Amino acid sequence: MKLRSANRLFLGLSLIGLVVIAGLPFGGWLRWSLTSERPIDLLVYDSTVVDDLRREHNAVGLMMTYLKVPFNGATDYVGSGPGGLPFGTWPDQRPDLVLLVDAYGVYVNELAEIDADGIVRVSQTFPPSFARDVARWADEGTVVMAEFNMMHEPTDPGTSEMLQSIFGIDATGWVGRAFEDLQDAGPRLRSLHAGAWDYQGPGIIIVGTSVGTRTRAPALVVLQSADLESPRPRITGSLPDEREKLDVSFDSWFALIEADSGADTSLWINLPVNDRGAALLEEWGIAQRSPFLVWNDNTVYAAGNLASTPAAFPARHIAGALPVMKRLAAHGNAALFYRIYAPLVERLVQMADSEITSD
């Protein structure tokens, strides 16, 4: 009898547990549904939209949905529409939060087809007047974040210098990206290499370009498998004021920069070179380790593409889902989105919210 009673108790507790677990997503969805939208005036700039998917700022829309900030990724931004045509209207009033996602632009090839390796730009550049507005807004309390494509080519030198000053960085002109197979490098990169392109297999390409007033002759440095301990750069360290130690791979474009003194540079990007690769970098004067996130009061610079991180975030309509997803996301783009980009944007939104309530 005691065994039967114990079994009934175990079964009863199990059923209760299942009901509770099954009810958690519904409860989170209910809390999210009943939460009012945050009255944050958000400005997103992206001039590299090539089609209706708007992948270049996809992660922004996911996070704004989760955080209940009004934003429609198809209509609520400024820059380029699908195909490179001008899109949106730059505001006259100071926004609460500004996300400068991408100023690289949309290019076409000799057949007038949209092509990342094309040489003719069909979208507008980020003008000096926009940079002056951003500087003034930041001084007046707007929270501003920019990603690396904002101040490199084709942004003109004067505008680039203004942006570097706003975010407290010095762009070295070295930018790079990991490739699963170096044979996939496009013709624009290959054109910087003298001789036949016989690289293959995983590797990292570092490109030297002019940026701002720093002029550099075009250069190409290729790190092959024999130069690397692992095939992708690593982002290591921690987000400002957080204890969690991060070690996340990164396979998109990044910039190697220097940060002004006084900035928070607790998150870094590392080139995973061995002795042979380290010697090659030293020969070119390229740092093995560079700040990835530069935080100065209400301005943040991310030295890599983040808003275009492939992510789905199916639980974005469930309050409290982010901490759970952070623990589950261990590798690749999921870790990049949930452990770095999502908490970063969450903090920026909280800062903008606090600024509004303190006014």
User: What pLDDT digit, counting tens, does each position of 302-345 carry?
Assistant: 999 999 999 889 889 989 989 988 888 888 899 999 999 999 99
Instruction: Report residue 5's pLDDT band, with 50, 70 and 90 as the boundaries.
Output: low
Cis before 128? omega within 30: no
Instruction: Report residue 21's pLDDT band, with 50, 70 and 90 as the boundaries.
Output: very low
What are the structural domains, with CATH classification, of the chain? 38-358 (3.40.50)
> Span 154-183, mean pLDDT?
96
Provide the edge-to-edge strand list for the sheet that holds 42-46: 86-87, 78-80, 42-46, 97-102, 143-147, 299-302, 289-296, 264-270, 234-237, 246-249
Among candidates 164, 259, 151, which has minimal Cα distance to 209?
Answer: 151
Angle between helices 58-66 and 342-358 in degrees, nearest 10:
60
Alpha-carbon gap, residue 70 to 40, rounded angstroms? 8
The answer to whether residue 34 scores a pLDDT higher than 90 is yes
pLDDT at 287: 97
Angle, CA of 312, 315 and 316, to the nearest 5°: 80
Among candidates 81, 52, 118, 61, which has minimal Cα distance to 309?
Answer: 61
Q: Which residues pair with 119 in a beta bridge?
A: none
pLDDT at 8: 55
User: What pLDDT digit, counting tens, does each position of 170-189 carry?
Assistant: 999 999 999 999 999 998 89
Among candidates 76, 73, 78, 255, which has minimal Cα distance to 149?
Answer: 255
Alpha-carbon gap, residue 357 to 68, rounded angstroms? 16
Q: Which alpha helices (DSSP H) does 77-231 contain, by range? A: 128-139, 157-167, 187-190
9-23, 100-114, 218-232: the lowest-pLDDT one: 9-23
